């Protein structure tokens, strides 16, 4: 668990550093109609849930290290599917914005 937390934290640091280095540039999605609506739905849900993941992860680590295993398990039942969804939709958003983004 601590290893997963460390790798996720490192990813977040590198992701934010990359965005800052590139001046927080905007990459538009050029799909239209239903494709654009689906992209926005995936992006919105990804961003909304991604903001909760660090708080959930820190809380889970603290509960685990404090030996409060039952509470840790109850929270992990909620946090794990959120983390999994954010991980998968992050890859989907990347694919939609870069290799599969239709021409303007």
Residues 5-27 pLDDT 10s: 999 999 999 999 999 999 999 99
How many CB atoms lie under 10 A from the CB of residue 94?
11
pTM over the 0.75 mark: yes
pLDDT at residue 1 is higher than 90: no
Average pLDDT over residues 46-63: 97
Q: Where are the alpha helices (DSSP H) in the chain?
A: 2-21, 33-50, 53-65, 69-97
Phi, psi (degrees; rounded to nearest 5) at 91: -65, -40
pLDDT, tens digit (0-9, with 9 covering 90-100), for 71-92: 999 999 999 999 999 999 999 9
State how far the alpha carbon of 50 is from the alpha carbons of 27, 69, 73, in Å: 19, 24, 20
Average pLDDT over residues 26-48: 97
Domain ranges of the chain: 2-97
Question: 26-35 b/e with 16+ CB inside 10 Å = b?
Answer: eeebebeeee
pLDDT at 25: 94
Q: Are 36 and 100 in contact (CB under 8 A)?
A: no
Going by C-beta distance under 8 Å and a sequence separation of 6 or more, which residues neighbour residue 101?
Answer: 27, 29, 30, 31
| Residue whose entry in the numeric block shows the structure tokens 């919105």 | 44
| % of the chain surpassing 70 pLDDT | 100
């Amino acid at each position: 668990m601590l290893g997963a937390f460390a790798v996720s934290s490192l990813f977040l640091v590198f992701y934010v550093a990359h965005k800052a280095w590139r001046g927080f540039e905007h990459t538009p999605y050029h799909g239209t109609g239903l494709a654009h609506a689906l992209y926005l739905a995936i992006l919105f849900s990804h961003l909304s849930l991604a903001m909760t993941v660090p708080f959930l992860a820190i809380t889970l680590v603290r509960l685990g290290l404090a030996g409060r295993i039952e509470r840790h398990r109850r929270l992990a039942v909620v946090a794990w599917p959120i983390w999994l969804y954010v991980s998968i939709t992050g890859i989907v958003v990347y694919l939609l914005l870069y290799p599969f983004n239709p021409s303007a």
